[in-house]
Amino acid sequence: MNPTVSPTLNEPVWFRRLLIGVGLAFLGLFLVLPLAAVLTEALRQGLGAYLNALHEPVALAAIKLTLIAAFIAVPLNLVFGVCAAWAIAKFEFRGKSLLITLIDLPFSVSPVIAGLIYVLIFGAQGWFGQWLFEHDVKIIFAVPGIVLATIFVTFPFVARELIPVMEEQGTAEEEAALTLGASGWQTFWRVTLPNIKWGLLYGVILCNARAMGEFGAVSVVSGHIRGETNTLPLHVEILYNEYNFVAAFACASLLALLALVTLAAKSFVEWRGQEQRATVPHLIPAAAPST
Amino acid sequence: MSIIIENVNKHFGGFHALQDVDLNIPTGELVALLGPSGCGKTSLLRIIAGLERPDTGSIRFNGEDATRQHVRERGVGFVFQHYALFHHMTVFDNVAFGLTVRPKAERPGKEEIREKVRELLRLVQLEFVADRYPNQLSGGQRQRIALARALAVEPKVLLLDEPFGALDANVRKELRRWLRRLHDEIHVTSVFVTHDQEEAMEVSSQIVVMNKGRIEQVGAPDEVYERPATAFVSRFLGSVNLFHGRVHSGWAHIGDLKAPAPEGAGLVSGAAAVVHLRPHEIDLATEPAGSIGVARVSSILTVGPMIRIELEREGEGREDGPVEVELTRERYLQAPLALGDRVFIRPRNLRVFAGT
């Protein structure tokens, strides 16, 4: 699997150094520097102020709400993603390409619009606004709206990750399991799931990162009620607008930390998944090594 | 267990993959479904397994209708062309899979499973790989494990889809013989799909020749080779030289030769007829008597014990290409030839078919 560079493509040393240098400078300017800025600003008035900012009841409420939204959105999208990927990769049916397009929709729609959709449907002036008001159900400017918006924007992550993995694997192993007498459920748990687990985990990590970091869509449906409907990203914005820089950057550092953990987890999963894929004998039977 | 297939049709979109297929497979046979790619042989095998549903028709196992039965209830062992081993499980777990997914009440105990798996691995002569993963095995070993896995559930029917297709020539030869012996040992009704006529001849007790979704002929290997029912079967089972002629009241006339062409199968007076001549069923004569044509020697090649001679036709039938003749070394040495020699083609055996 080692990509050996052909000598004709081997650029002179100075050129390679230049390319690497440009790449690193770009990374430093746009990623490392802001990250460092977040941390220095957060710790400007010392560790005590930093911890205090995170201990605020309002900050804790924001953290809690962010976790709740992620805890609901991620498992739902996990189930949906597996179902959709399974249907798309293993069956032929009418409207398949439509389904694929629909799954991609949240990628192409602006998050603000995504939030607005829910306001238009469930808001006071929306389609179901009157009915919801009469039955005392709050969706917009409440937790359900935030969860809905989060689900919408994170919708494609798991399915998108799994479709190529499942398509590559085909259906032979599942068929083998069925001929051996396994039920559909046993086939899924014992054959399909182990085969897709790294792709699935990868999708879940990305999905989770987006769920916790989402700003636009959530902002529209949240109503920014302190301690009630503010997620962590919204809380950061409010603090910043109030010139409470230390607290704003302290909360932002949590999100930055989440990003770093996600990055590390993602790299690890990618590495494991590739390792597994490399050892999978799928479509290379003819060249099987004789031992 | 016997398998009876009646009036099976299968479409894939607009493609008619199987057309009115009827087939009877008696208990204990080792049957080859033979045909070129796209002839429907794999579809038929998958329909027998229950992995595909026929559009019409029925499948009966031992007289019992299995058409609507789910794969899992049919009790078939299926061996896939690309093995389809569970690559995240060890060889042991692969072979044990069929036993461990049984409902609790029917599931054998751990020790019993272990004993059974060991016995199967012994049967396929691969006891020493039990703890390895499929990707640590060679192609031939993988296929044998796939077979052991299929046999673990004690199938009533064993179905193999191009079982040796992905292996290199030597391993394939060895596995063929091994499968033959294994079948003699366990005698389970077996059907395997192949596009290799040599493989079908060597392994099976019955050959089903298929073409374009239909069954062309069913018979023992000797029978389909010696008495092909159609021109397709004759051509598919070995190389043939073609000669064209016409039918006149029960005789096919090709050049100076008259060959009996019994009525039926389109061989009516005035119809076109084609004669198939296998390379080893030809004598080369210096006299025109009984010959089907005349030709010049254009190449002489020694291939092991055989001498392969290529002839350039003279007169009619040039567009049918050169004529290939195979002689044993002994026969050739009785009357050696030189390039450019003029010879008469005298068939020792021939087959007449309707058409061009």
**Which chain A residues touch B149 with a CB distance below 8 Å?**
176, 180
Q: Which of A179, A191, A282 sits opposite B78 (nearest CB)?
A: A179
Q: Which of B72, B89, B128, B156 to substitute to test the interface with A, most A CBs within 10 Å?
A: B72
Strand partners, B307: B302, B327
Residues 20-49 of B with CB under 8 A from A: 49
The answer to whether the Cβ–Cβ distance between B97 and A288 falls below 8 Å is: no
Please give the pLDDT value at position B325: 92
Chain-centroid distance of CA B346 in Å reads: 30
Please give the pLDDT value at position A5: 56
pLDDT tens digit string along B272-306? 888 899 999 998 888 888 888 888 999 999 988 89
The answer to whether the Cβ–Cβ distance between B101 and A175 falls below 8 Å is: no
**Which chain B residues touch A279 with a CB distance below 8 Å?**
87, 133, 135
pLDDT tens digit string along A36-87? 988 888 888 888 888 888 888 888 999 999 999 999 999 999 999 999 998 8
Strand order across the beta sheet in which B272-277 lies: B257-260, B251-254, B241-248, B272-277, B351-354
pLDDT tens digit string along A166-181? 988 888 999 999 999 9
**Which chain B residues touch A179 with a CB distance below 8 Å?**
49, 51, 71-72, 76-78, 150
How far is it, in rounded angstroms, from Cα B143 to Cα B149? 10
**% of chain B beyond a pLDDT of 90:** 52
pLDDT tens digit string along A209-243? 899 988 888 888 888 888 888 888 999 999 899 98
pLDDT for A4 beyond 60: no
How far is it, in rounded angstroms, from Cα B179 to Cα B183? 6
Name the token pair of A210: 């987006």
How far is it, in rounded angstroms, from Cα A265 to Cα A260? 9
Helix or strand holding residue B23 (H, E)? strand B15-25
- Assess B168–A contact: CB distance below 8 Å, yes or no: yes
Please give the pLDDT value at position A281: 45
Q: Which of B51, B98, B137 sits opposite A180 (nearest CB)?
A: B98
Angle between helices A143-154 and A57-90 (to 10 degrees): 40
**% of chain B beyond a pLDDT of 70:** 98
Nearest C-alpha neighbor of A214 from the set A161, A170, A154, A169: A154
For residue A177, give every residue at least 6 positions away whose Cβ sits within 8 Å of its Cβ, in sequence order, or none: A186, A187, A190, A191, B86, B97, B101
Q: What are phi and psi of B65, to 5 degrees?
A: -70, 125
pLDDT tens digit string along A151-171? 999 989 999 999 998 988 888
pLDDT for A283 beyond 70: no
pLDDT for A95 beyond 60: yes
- pTM, entire model: 0.79
Find the chain A residues whose C-beta atoms sit closer than 8 A to any C-beta of B. Answer: 172-173, 175-183, 186, 190-191, 194-195, 276, 279-283, 285-286, 288-291
**Which chain B residues touch A182 with a CB distance below 8 Å?**
72, 97-98, 101
Please give the pLDDT value at position B89: 92
pLDDT tens digit string along A11-28? 788 888 999 999 999 999
Q: Which of B12, B52, B70, B82 to substitute to test the interface with A, most A CBs within 10 Å?
A: B82
C-alpha distance from B136 to closest chain A C-alpha (Å):
8
The answer to whether the Cβ–Cβ distance between A176 and B166 falls below 8 Å is: no
Q: Which of A93, A179, A190, A193 to substitute to test the interface with B, most B CBs within 10 Å?
A: A179
What does A135-147 look like in DSSP terms, one character per residue? Answer: TT---TTSHHHHH
Q: From residue A73, give the alpha-carbon distance in Å to each of A148, A153, A156, A200.
A: 8, 10, 12, 15
Chain-centroid distance of CA A135 in Å reads: 34
**Which chain B residues touch A92 with a CB distance below 8 Å?**
none
pLDDT tens digit string along B103-139? 988 899 899 999 999 999 998 889 999 999 999 999 8
How far is it, in rounded angstroms, from Cα A193 to Cα B86? 12
End-to-end CA distance of chain A: 20
* Higher pLDDT among residues A116 and B270, named by residue: A116
How far is it, in rounded angstroms, from Cα B121 to Cα B131? 12
C-alpha distance from A75 to closest chain B C-alpha (Å):
25
**Which chain B residues touch A180 with a CB distance below 8 Å?**
97-98, 101, 149-150, 152-153
Give me the helices (H) in chain B, please: 41-49, 71-74, 91-100, 110-123, 139-152, 169-186, 197-203, 221-226, 231-236, 329-334
Q: Which of A177, A195, A279 sits opposite B135 (nearest CB)?
A: A279
**Which chain B residues touch A280 with a CB distance below 8 Å?**
87, 135
The answer to whether the Cβ–Cβ distance between B166 and A194 falls below 8 Å is: no
| Amino acid occupying residue B31 | V
